[in-house]
């Protein structure tokens, strides 16, 4: 039985829409055969996805999925500081290095881990300053 495809058209990434890059990557993976066939028909074989390209896209999709899930959680609930430990744990889990993944994904994971955790630390520091100033400390 053939796998049912989730996407019927290619999606485009939009910088102002969270998770649109994941949607775009997922659509390319779902429509990879059709994508490559269309490029071949156009004479653009150089742009066809190789097996290595597909592997990297699948790794990137797997990496981005937790961010999508966290965005959905924060968007659907009343956001509060109690979610921060969950976000930190999810970022740490998502950015764990896998010796079998591509180097580009490992580099991305390291960069994201460092930046997100530094950003969260800075946010905590700012919250503490605001709290202390309100208390008159």
Question: What would the pLDDT profile of 66-115 be if each residue is shown by its tens digit?
Answer: 888 888 877 765 767 677 788 788 888 999 999 999 999 999 999 988 88
Q: How far is CA 69 from CA 22, 40, 95, 118, in A?
A: 11, 35, 15, 21
Please say whether the beta carbons of 32 and 23 come within 8 A. no
At residue 14, the pLDDT reads 87
Of all helices (H) and strands (E), which one includes residue 44? Answer: none
CA 13 to chain CA centroid, Å, is 12
What is the distance in angstroms between the CA of the first residue and the CA of the last residue of the chain?
67
Q: What is the pLDDT of residue 46?
A: 93
Q: What does the pLDDT look like over 8-27, one tens digit per residue?
A: 888 898 888 878 999 999 99
Rounded Cα gap, residues 68 and 6, in angstroms: 16
Domain spans of the chain?
Answer: 1-49, 62-135
Residue 64 has pLDDT above 60, yes or no: yes
Assessment of whether the complete model's pTM goes beyond 0.85: no
- List C-alpha distances in Å: 95 to 104, 132, 133: 13, 33, 35
């Amino acid at each position: 039985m053939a796998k049912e495809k989730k996407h019927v058209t290619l999606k485009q990434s939009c910088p102002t829409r969270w998770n649109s890059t994941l949607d775009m990557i997922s659509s390319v993976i779902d429509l990879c055969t059709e994508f490559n066939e269309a490029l071949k028909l156009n004479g653009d074989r150089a742009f066809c996805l190789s097996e290595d390209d597909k592997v990297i896209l699948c790794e990137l999709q797997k990496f981005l999925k937790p961010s999508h899930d966290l965005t959905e959680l924060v968007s659907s609930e009343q956001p509060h500081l109690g979610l921060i430990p969950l976000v930190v744990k999810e970022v740490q889990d998502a950015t764990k290095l896998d010796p079998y993944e591509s180097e580009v994904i490992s580099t991305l994971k390291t960069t994201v881990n460092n930046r997100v955790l530094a950003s969260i630390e800075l946010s905590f520091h700012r919250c503490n300053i605001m709290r202390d100033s309100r208390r008159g400390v």
